[in-house]
Chains A and B, each alone.
Chain A
Amino acid sequence: MEQKQKIFMIEDDVLMLNLYERTFKLSGFDIEVAKDGMEALGKLKDIAEKPDVIILDIMMPKINGFDVLKQLKKNSGTKNIPVVVLSNLAHPEDVDRVLKMGAAMYLVKSQHDPEDTVKKVKEAIENSKETT
């Protein structure tokens, strides 16, 4: 059997978290979650199996998404993992900033329902695999 692709998702809203977890699982992914940036960075540091993609929201408590992204791209362990930013912020400046910081993709939540998001994430993994 093909190895399942692993998602690591950081999302603070429990409803959303549950929904995405279910969606990805039902779509055939392994998924690990974290409720905030601190937890995420902590988990990722010690993680045994690196995820194929990290899904990150920008608007979060404690540390905001930009800082998390920065950290992710700094850490040698995580910097090569593609990051898909999933957020409700839709300003082009934010998109630019995120992409410049090294995110692989920016998805606006209101424009992509969960199933669509899964498709996009698949794309992102494929793209990153191509470049490496």
Chain B
Amino acid sequence: MRLSLVKKLVIFIELIVIITILLGGVITYLTLQDALQTQINGQLQSIAVLKENTINTYLKEASSEVEYTITDEYRREQFISFIEGREKENKDVLLKIISDIASEKSTIFELSLFDTQGEIILSTNKEEEGKIKSSELFFSRAKEKIVIQDYYYDLSSGKPAMLIAAPIKNKEGILLGILAGKINVDEISALMVERSGLGNTGETFLVNSFNMAVTSLLKEPGAVFRRTIYLPQVNNCLRGNSSFGKNIDYHGDDVIGYWHWVPQLKSCLVTKIDSVEVLAPVWEATKFFLELLALLGLFMGMIGYMGGRSVIRPLLNLRTKAQKIENGDFNVGEEKERNTHDEISDVSLAFNGMALRLRTTYENLEQKIWEVKEERARLLSSINSLSFGFIIADMNHRVVVKNKAMIRFLGIDDKSELSVQEISKTLGEHENIQVQIDSCIKSNMVCEINEINFGKKIFRGIVAPITVADVSEKNIGYVFLLEDITEQKVLERGKDEFFSIASHELRTPLTAIRGNISLLQKFYADRIENKEVNAMIADIGISSERLIRIVNDFLDMSRLEQKKIEFKKEKIDVSQVIDELVGELKNLAIEKNLELRFDRPQVPLPLVLADKERMKQILMNLVGNAIHYTPKGSIIITASIKDSLLKIAVKDTGLGISPQNQSLLFRKFQQAGHDSLARDISQSTGLGLYISRLIVNMMGGSIELEESTVGGGSTFSFTLPVLKD
């Protein structure tokens, strides 16, 4: 539940106020109550004691009268003589005496004389005479001394009374009779009913030893001598223990009282007043507190609210600013603000600074983004202007960038989301393009996918993974290029066709020429007597041979250039091949009076993996050249190992090659002949070294002129990789 700060503050203040006042109230209440109670107790006790004294005084009066009566000589004599003689004269005198005592106004209203048997022999109440009351409690006790018995209900008079009895003894101290009288307790009763100092609800009453209420009860008017009260306080009091207390009274009300044991009456004098009345001032105080509470609460609430608002206002201001920023509006802190010189102003100022920073950063960012967008646009436009299809894909094979050329090539939709798999499929499922792309990415290398046939077009694909050059060297995607090589291929195929046709078509007639000439020379020589005819036939033969060589060289060269040649991979013993070659060219060397030999190495040479025929071809070329350009001397072939290459060298003592010509050596159609010598074009097409280089390079080796000086001979060498075990 969301509560504003001010409300929280107000609630907080109110709570404090309420709690404080409640606490104060409770404490006051308890203290007041206590004080009041003590005060009341005091009052109750004094009332009780006062009344007790009054009662005692009253009873003392009665007892004095009786005491006087039994101690006065005259009266005693009269009593004794009557008790003993029962003379009538005595009786009348005695009657007068006791009537005087028990007059209406006196405390004793009925007096009776008992003999020792307990029979009333004389009484102011004629009806009583003759009754025997020996069994009554007072009788036995009165034999010794004056006795006052507590309240009882006197049936004959119809009102409460107390009994007083005294022994009558003669000179010798022998008991002769008992004088008993009924004490008029009206005054006592009236005293008890008297309620001054007891407020509206307070009262006093007497409870006798039989728990009977013997005086009027305020709350139950007709209860006198009808109601017993067995409350604990009362019972305790009747056992002789006076006490204070706050209890429930006979009427069920909560009262504060004092239960006072009155020994003379053998009764409990109860003084009590309703708690409510006693504590009325407390309630007043409580009411006061509540009113105070309400007033204060209101007041504090207002203060809290106003104070809170003034404190909160800057915070609200801050909140507004924060919300503005949240909504993207960074223009805050530019209005005039009141400085409250507290922590909130500090925050507010800092906030303004922060907003300014944010604004600046945002603007800078926007600028940067714009620059990046420009750059990207430039890049994209360059990509689009490429003639080959260009795609950048992420590692999930989703196309991120595609250019116009790619769209055109594949005939796909510009807008659609594309995956590389879709492109592969479009290019042709049977082409296994996706498989090749996947393996390419795995190997993390740039690779080529050759000859993708797509309808009438032929493409070449290139896949290049894009790596992020940080710690992980992770691939983030790859570039897929599609190059249209249709024309190139058509051209190639055209060339191939041309060459195959050319080779076939040229060779056949050439073979026919040479073959027939050969047959002629071999089997029909005897039929041709004319030397000229023979010579002509010979020339035709030589020409055709040369033509064949030229055609072969051309075809060989073009096939090598196009890399259409397949080399056999054989394990070759180089020494053996050189020997073979020397054997084949021996005669030619002898004809020219040249020495041709192979200087075998001491250590047997390792095998080489190469095409034997082709190797021979190179050797043939070099040695052939050597023989051709060496008028006299020798041609020596050597073989050696250098690094992991096997080097074969052909050294001649021939014409040598000038430095200018050396640079022309391995080119097409060049003859490194001596300038002064007429070019001997009988053998060479000028392609020999060029072809040799093509061949040796494709076999993994190299060929070079090691050294040559004009007139000092030349040394050519070529290398081949040694076969690793």
> B661 an interface residue at 8 Å Cβ cutoff?
no
Q: How far is the CA of A100 from the CA of B158 in the complex (A)?
A: 163
Q: How far is the CA of A22 from the CA of B523 in the complex (A)?
A: 10
A26-B519, A109-B507, A109-B511 known, 16 other contacts, Cβ within 8 Å: A15-B509, A15-B511, A16-B511, A16-B512, A18-B512, A18-B516, A19-B511, A19-B512, A19-B516, A19-B519, A22-B516, A22-B519, A88-B504, A88-B507, A113-B518, A114-B518
A 6-40 binary contact with B (CB < 8 Å = 1; else 0): 00000001011011001100100000000000000
Q: How far is the CA of A106 from the CA of B518 in the complex (A)?
A: 23
6 pairs from A and B in contact (CB 8 Å cutoff) = A16-B512, A19-B512, A88-B507, A110-B552, A114-B519, A115-B522
Partner of A19, one of B503, B515, B522, B566: B515
Across the interface, do B507 and A110 meet the contact criterion of CB distance under 8 Å?
yes
> B453 an interface residue at 8 Å Cβ cutoff?
no
B485-543 at interface with A (beta carbon < 8 Å): 503-504, 507-509, 511-512, 514-516, 518-519, 522-523
Name the residue in B509, B511, B514, B518 with the highest tally of chain A Cβ atoms < 10 Å from its Cβ: B511
Contacts of B518 in A (CB 8 A): 113-115
A13-B519 contact in complex given A92-B566, A110-B552, A113-B514, C-beta closer than 8 Å: no
Contacts of B512 in A (CB 8 A): 15-16, 18-19
A16-B508 contact in complex given A88-B503, A92-B566, A113-B514, C-beta closer than 8 Å: yes
Contacts of A26 in B (CB 8 A): 519, 522-523
A15-B519 contact in complex given A88-B503, A92-B566, C-beta closer than 8 Å: no
Interface residue tally for chain B (C-beta within 8 Å): 16
Contacts of B519 in A (CB 8 A): 19, 22-23, 26, 114
Closest to A113 in B: B515
A 57-82 binary contact with B (CB < 8 Å = 1; else 0): 00100000000000000000000000
Partner of B511, one of A22, A92, A113: A113
Closest to B523 in A: A26
Q: How far is the CA of A15 from the CA of B509 in the complex (A)?
A: 7
The minimal Cβ–Cβ distance linking A91 to chain B, given in whole angstroms, is 8
Across the interface, do A15 and B523 meet the contact criterion of CB distance under 8 Å?
no
Closest to B500 in A: A88
The minimal Cβ–Cβ distance linking A45 to chain B, given in whole angstroms, is 29
Closest to A13 in B: B508
The minimal Cβ–Cβ distance linking B557 to chain A, given in whole angstroms, is 15
Contacts of B504 in A (CB 8 A): 59, 88
B95-131 at interface with A (beta carbon < 8 Å): none
Contacts of B522 in A (CB 8 A): 26, 115
Q: How far is the CA of A59 from the CA of B504 in the complex (A)?
A: 10
The minimal Cβ–Cβ distance linking B531 to chain A, given in whole angstroms, is 23
Contacts of B515 in A (CB 8 A): 19, 23, 113-114
| Size category of the binding interface on chain A | 10 to 19
Q: How far is the CA of A16 from the CA of B509 in the complex (A)?
A: 8
A77-129 at interface with B (beta carbon < 8 Å): 88, 91-92, 109-110, 113-115
Contacts of B511 in A (CB 8 A): 15-16, 19, 109, 113-114
Closest to A14 in B: B512
Contacts of A15 in B (CB 8 A): 508-509, 511-512
Contacts of A109 in B (CB 8 A): 507, 511
The minimal Cβ–Cβ distance linking A22 to chain B, given in whole angstroms, is 6
Contacts of B503 in A (CB 8 A): 88, 110
Q: How far is the CA of A19 from the CA of B544 in the complex (A)?
A: 15
Closest to A19 in B: B515
Contacts of B552 in A (CB 8 A): 110
Contacts of A115 in B (CB 8 A): 518, 522
Q: How far is the CA of A18 from the CA of B475 in the complex (A)?
A: 68
Name the residue in B503, B507, B512, B552 with the highest tally of chain A Cβ atoms < 10 Å from its Cβ: B512
Q: How far is the CA of A22 from the CA of B516 in the complex (A)?
A: 8
B 150-174 binary contact with A (CB < 8 Å = 1; else 0): 0000000000000000000000000
B 547-579 binary contact with A (CB < 8 Å = 1; else 0): 000001000000000000010000000000000
Q: How far is the CA of A96 from the CA of B503 in the complex (A)?
A: 22
Contacts of B523 in A (CB 8 A): 26
Closest to B516 in A: A19
Closest to A59 in B: B504
Q: How far is the CA of A91 from the CA of B566 in the complex (A)?
A: 8
The minimal Cβ–Cβ distance linking B535 to chain A, given in whole angstroms, is 22
Q: How far is the CA of A22 from the CA of B507 in the complex (A)?
A: 19
Q: How far is the CA of A13 from the CA of B511 in the complex (A)?
A: 12
Q: How far is the CA of A15 from the CA of B506 in the complex (A)?
A: 12
Q: How far is the CA of A62 from the CA of B179 in the complex (A)?
A: 184
The minimal Cβ–Cβ distance linking B517 to chain A, given in whole angstroms, is 10
Contacts of B516 in A (CB 8 A): 18-19, 22
Q: How far is the CA of A23 from the CA of B522 in the complex (A)?
A: 10
Contacts of B509 in A (CB 8 A): 15
Q: How far is the CA of A123 from the CA of B424 in the complex (A)?
A: 54
Q: How far is the CA of A109 from the CA of B504 in the complex (A)?
A: 10
The minimal Cβ–Cβ distance linking A89 to chain B, given in whole angstroms, is 9
Closest to B509 in A: A15
Q: How far is the CA of A100 from the CA of B515 in the complex (A)?
A: 31
Contacts of A113 in B (CB 8 A): 511, 514-515, 518
Q: How far is the CA of A115 from the CA of B518 in the complex (A)?
A: 9
The minimal Cβ–Cβ distance linking A79 to chain B, given in whole angstroms, is 30
Q: How far is the CA of A75 from the CA of B522 in the complex (A)?
A: 39
Which 7 A-B pairs give the minimum distances between C-beta atoms? A15-B512, A19-B515, A114-B515, A26-B523, A19-B512, A13-B508, A22-B519
The minimal Cβ–Cβ distance linking A58 to chain B, given in whole angstroms, is 12
Q: How far is the CA of A130 from the CA of B512 in the complex (A)?
A: 33
Contacts of A16 in B (CB 8 A): 508, 511-512
Contacts of A114 in B (CB 8 A): 511, 515, 518-519
Q: How far is the CA of A92 from the CA of B514 in the complex (A)?
A: 27
Q: How far is the CA of A91 from the CA of B509 in the complex (A)?
A: 22
Contacts of B566 in A (CB 8 A): 91-92
Q: How far is the CA of A92 from the CA of B568 in the complex (A)?
A: 9
Q: How far is the CA of A59 from the CA of B508 in the complex (A)?
A: 13
Name the residue in A13, A16, A19, A88 with the highest tally of chain B Cβ atoms < 10 Å from its Cβ: A19
Q: How far is the CA of A16 from the CA of B522 in the complex (A)?
A: 18
Closest to A88 in B: B504
Q: How far is the CA of A18 from the CA of B513 in the complex (A)?
A: 11
The minimal Cβ–Cβ distance linking B582 to chain A, given in whole angstroms, is 21
Q: How far is the CA of A110 from the CA of B518 in the complex (A)?
A: 16
Q: How far is the CA of A23 from the CA of B602 in the complex (A)?
A: 47
Contacts of A91 in B (CB 8 A): 566
The minimal Cβ–Cβ distance linking A47 to chain B, given in whole angstroms, is 27
Closest to A20 in B: B515
Q: How far is the CA of A22 from the CA of B561 in the complex (A)?
A: 38
Closest to A114 in B: B515
Contacts of A59 in B (CB 8 A): 504
Q: How far is the CA of A19 from the CA of B523 in the complex (A)?
A: 13
Q: How far is the CA of A23 from the CA of B518 in the complex (A)?
A: 9
Q: How far is the CA of A114 from the CA of B670 in the complex (A)?
A: 33
Closest to A22 in B: B519
Q: How far is the CA of A114 from the CA of B509 in the complex (A)?
A: 13
Q: How far is the CA of A109 from the CA of B509 in the complex (A)?
A: 13
Q: How far is the CA of A88 from the CA of B523 in the complex (A)?
A: 27
Q: How far is the CA of A16 from the CA of B513 in the complex (A)?
A: 10
The minimal Cβ–Cβ distance linking A68 to chain B, given in whole angstroms, is 19
